[in-house]
Amino acid sequence: MGCCQSSFFYGKDHRPARNRSRPSNSGDVLPAFSEFSLSDLKSATNNFASDHIVSEVGRNAPNVVYKGRLHNRHWIAVKKFTTIAWPDPKQFAEDAWGVGKLRHKRIAKLIGYCCEGDERLLVAEYMPNDTLAKHLFHWENQTIKWAMRLRVALYIAEALDYCRAEGHPLYNDLSAYGVLFDENGDPRLSCFGLMENSRDGVGMLEYNRNGMITPESVVFSFGTVLLDLLSGKHIPPNHALDMIRGKNILPLMDSHLEGNFSTEQATVVSDLASQCLQYEPRERPSTKDLVATLAPLQNEADVPSYVLLGIPKHEEASPKLQPSLSPMGDACSRMDLTAIHQILVMTHYRDDEGTNELSFQEWTQQMRDTLDARKRGDLAFRDKDFKNAIDCYSQLMNSVHNVLMRVSNAKAEFVDVGSMVSPTVFARRSLCFLLCDQPDSALRDAMQAQCVYPDWSTAFYMQSVALAKLDMHKDAADMLSEASALEEKRLRCCRGP
């Protein structure tokens, strides 16, 4: 379908198609968030063979995680639920997409899901260096050093604070089993516990008492993780609280540390654990308080995590020859926001061709009037008035939302505003956010552009720049490579056989 410049809204089905995990030119790039087929996951896990199980924890419902390998040779972790845990497939898919948008260096990324028949599966990047529980309770070579325990506490607090800021403050069954170590030994929070509506087993004392997970109960669970880090073993929270209240910190400490810890730092951590475990939820600290308390304790910040954890250094694969980058790819690789701006201005809206365009005749005059907001945004964008462009594009989206609310009420159906806005608008506003030093917002808009137009290289390019601005350089490089591969694929299609 030809591109109509005045058209800025598209069809409802904006999610990437099934199996859109694309191998890139580098061969091992983590795929963009996608829906996987059951056959692909069976192939990756050897039909969910028992020798592929890496975790099997659960009280009220099965909670099995398998190690697998995709066709592009990338390792993944696959969590398998039952329909008891997730009876509503639509809810499962929507929650998975919500968690899949979270991108932070302290969280193991969710990269996809599968929802075929009675199957409910989540797919995440694989963390090769075991769980905190393994290193604390079942270690073979050496116990975790004190500095590493402090790093674990801070990194998980940072992950929880990020999730809270992004509107995902709830976490199911936070424990030492949900803290994973990546290839560099850096601790990361498992993404699986962020699926809010799961009926999976939740073993926290707070959950059992109130029957629901709250942000305060997550902080309570974080307090139990702090106790694990202090003691090196499972201690009932009430018993530990008695020890802490008695100011008797030494009997609480892990004897395997052999005294190699700071009593002053341990006292700060135990005091923080005590606050987290308070009976009254309102008396517990916020996630921001957790970060503020733990950050000053990091006195070996320059020592790599693999050294503190006592594991071999991860060797990067030999760099492969990269294809020559397009002007857009080159600008993004150099973080040249001015050049990116010039390219987006010149491209205008012609990249929106091929999306599922709807006719203006289906909408009201008020819907047509929202074009004015986009025109003003485009003028501001062209003139480098980026704050005004953000305001105009946001006004456009609010106007579309208001009209769609009335349409959906009349037709008794829900229409996602994100699917009705041009991907170019999201890409332009993403760049505006970058130029206004708001990389988190820029990343959200770039990911929304991908949702609207799953094969659009520009959406991936903008994500790479935002990720680099967030100091997530490996993810940025992966996204840049995938964008380049998509761009090359599109050029081949245009050239024909």
Q: What is the Cα–Cα distance from 181 to 131, expressed in whole angstroms?
A: 6
Q: Are 78 and 45 in contact (CB under 8 A)?
A: yes
Torsion-angle region of 47 (φ positive above 0: left; ψ -120 to 50: alpha; else: beta): left
Q: Please tell me which residue in 40, 95, 161, 173 is annotated as part of the active site.
A: 173
Q: Are 324 and 194 in contact (CB under 8 A)?
A: no
Q: What is the Cα–Cα distance from 415 to 413, expressed in whole angstroms?
A: 7
Alpha carbon of 188 to those of 98, 109, 127, 462: distances in Å? 19, 9, 9, 25
Q: What is the Cα–Cα distance from 168 to 159, expressed in whole angstroms?
A: 11
Q: What is the Cα–Cα distance from 80 to 386, expressed in whole angstroms?
A: 45
Q: Any idea which residue has 């009349």 for tokens?
A: 410
Beta-sheet strands, E only, within 64-146: 64-69, 75-81, 110-114, 120-125
Contacts of 113 (CB under 8 A, 6+ apart): 35, 36, 92, 93, 96, 97, 100, 121, 122, 123
Give, for 180, the enclosing helix (H) or strand (E). strand 179-181
Strands 34-35 and 110-114: parallel
Q: Are 380 and 372 in contact (CB under 8 A)?
A: no
Please tell me whether residue 53 adopts helix, strand or coil conformation: strand
Which residues sit opposite 68 in a β-bridge? 76
Phi, psi dihedral angles at 290 (to 5 degrees): -60, -45
Q: Are 355 and 423 in contact (CB under 8 A)?
A: yes
Active site residue 254: no
Q: Are 70 and 44 in contact (CB under 8 A)?
A: yes
Q: What is the Cα–Cα distance from 346 to 340, expressed in whole angstroms?
A: 10
Residues designated as active site: 173
